[in-house]
Chain A
């Protein structure tokens, strides 16, 4: 028995020695993520996590960061902002992460921010709303264009095509309602009248009632649907059912191939602002965004056998913004990394060219969004 124990000891010692020999000299750099992997925002959080795991593997395969491996610690907030706060606390205090990515939703990001500020740790949010970067919050950054930009892009396209009186159909989710307010503001500024302003529940199975009202309102020149996911599919199919011929605009939230697949022929001709990711293959080779977008799409789709979405791409950009800052800072010191993130300039991402400043923690302008349309079952650059 004693001999057996001794042997076990020897084997263990050998095993420890072997693993120690393989590990790099220092502890891994820790990145924390709080994402919505279950609940209502899970279709957003899922590609975000997949992307982050892919990024960690890529970085580690390329030798890690500053000679150290990178480790991702992630938690699921179940799409509940209240939980995100607790999880952020755990990441900061127990896991002692060097930076935080996350907040799939605006609610979660804002709930986490007070803790982030107290802990003084760089934080890149993946959520959509303007409130994340305006007013500027010292430790919080964001690689995703916000709803006001989406509204501006759509309204400018409408204006350019001569539509001045439009109908709007927004969903009653948090996203739909906050976006609706932004869109109404933008419409007023550019001089477009919202003649019909209807809402629907994103879980509705039929929206023909609202659409019939829109159809029967005289003078309406275009229809702007403010929603994402399943809701957009139902609306698009209903529009085809009622034979509504109005130009149909959607938000960037439906820029997924899944939307085209589920809505089928009804999606043909829909116009929406989208990050270049969706049409990367059509860009000229000289475009700095082309190669990285195409690479990301290829790697993601071959690794997970599923379509990319812009939400995953935000996570990719967030990762690169941070890696870029750490590489420049030559350290993971939180304050230094924060400063370098704030000074990100000319960094190409899937969402656009990122140029941050102390006044702008988003770093994207409206040109980052391209108006695309659905042509023959695919997204294509419009016009």
Chain B
């Protein structure tokens, strides 16, 4: 019984770490601009695809991974400059629709440029599964978990300790006030897109050896990330971490103890219930209206 439960939990945590990285990207952009970026899943995909292509072309694995992440970051920044910034005076809903368009374009471009076939990266440290109290875990899953933890740590340092990080936070609280005290709001927006693309791409790169990556991989991961971010509370960093891990665990436990047929329905039912009972999400701050 115990090894089975442990297996479900390990599998849920790996999934959850992926959802968490996707959710963090959603939250970061939502904070900086109030926009829900539906191209987040595509950032994950671009990172994974770029890394596997470079690796297949003979670039050493660590270099390919770093380059893949940087390419995704560049794409993220470009998306903000070319598609979102020109519409900055438009309503939030319009910008959200723009991000949906961007996601289609990124998917289509990848499909045309890099092909429709799935690609895989080599495992970072071997494929031999590690045994743990009767359950097994791939070394690569540990990489996924470690990458998730490192990103969370890095982000908390970034927001708590750096000037530019504090600038992003200030912009999320009050754009006009931040501008008045000298924060370059435009740069903050570009940065938040680039950064959320980097976060997503790290996820895309570490998961690619396990799950393979194709031009349409981002859709489901993006959607689940959005659900995770909403569950935890949109815009809340701890909320994204909690929402992601919670979602992964719930999925694995539903598949394990109820039926795998309901696995994908549970997150969406859950988000529905949360939105009705607690619209700000489980860890989100209660919205206050300015008078």
* A contact set with B: CB distance below 8 Å: 38, 40, 42-43, 46, 172, 198-201, 203-206, 208-210, 212-213, 216, 229-230, 233-234, 237, 240-243, 258, 262, 264-266
Contacts and interface: CB of A to CB of B under 8 A. Distances in A.
Given A205-B207, A208-B7, A233-B212, A42 B116 contact: yes
Nearest to A210: B260
5 closest Cβ contacts across the A-B interface? Answer: A205-B211, A203-B220, A212-B7, A209-B255, A208-B11
Nearest to A230: B118
B217 A209 contact: no
Contacts of A265: 127
Contact of A206 (B14, B108, B120): B14
Contacts of A209: 7-8, 11-12, 252, 255-256, 260
B241 interface: no
B261 interface: yes
B8 A205 contact: no
Nearest to B138: A241
Given A203-B217, A206-B14, 14 more contacts: A42-B111, A172-B261, A201-B220, A203-B216, A203-B219, A205-B221, A206-B11, A208-B11, A208-B136, A210-B256, A212-B256, A213-B256, A241-B137, A262-B119
Nearest to A307: B117
Nearest to B255: A209
A300 to B, nearest CB: 15
A212 B8 contact: yes
A43 B217 contact: no
Contacts, number: 98
Secondary structure call for the B interface: helix
Interface residues of B, number: 40
Given A42-B116, A241-B138, A230 B255 contact: no
Of the candidates A205, A216, A262, the one having the most CB atoms from chain B within 10 angstroms of its own CB is A205
Given A40-B216, A201-B263, A205-B210, A241 B120 contact: no
Contacts of B20: none
B4 interface: yes
Given A199-B261, A230-B212, A233-B118, A38 B7 contact: no
Given A205-B18, A206-B11, A234 B212 contact: yes
A160 to B, nearest CB: 29
Given A203-B220, A209-B11, A234 B211 contact: yes
Contacts of A206: 11, 14-15, 210-211, 252
A42 B216 CA distance: 11
Contacts of B120: 233, 262
B214 interface: yes
Interface string B102-138: 0000001001000011111000000101000001111
A230 B212 CA distance: 7
Contacts of B260: 198-200, 209-210
Interface in B178-233: 207, 210-212, 214, 216-217, 219-221
Contact of A241 (B129, B207, B255): B129
Given A203-B217, A212-B7, A237 B118 contact: no
8 contacts: A38-B111, A42-B116, A198-B255, A206-B15, A209-B8, A210-B260, A258-B117, A258-B118
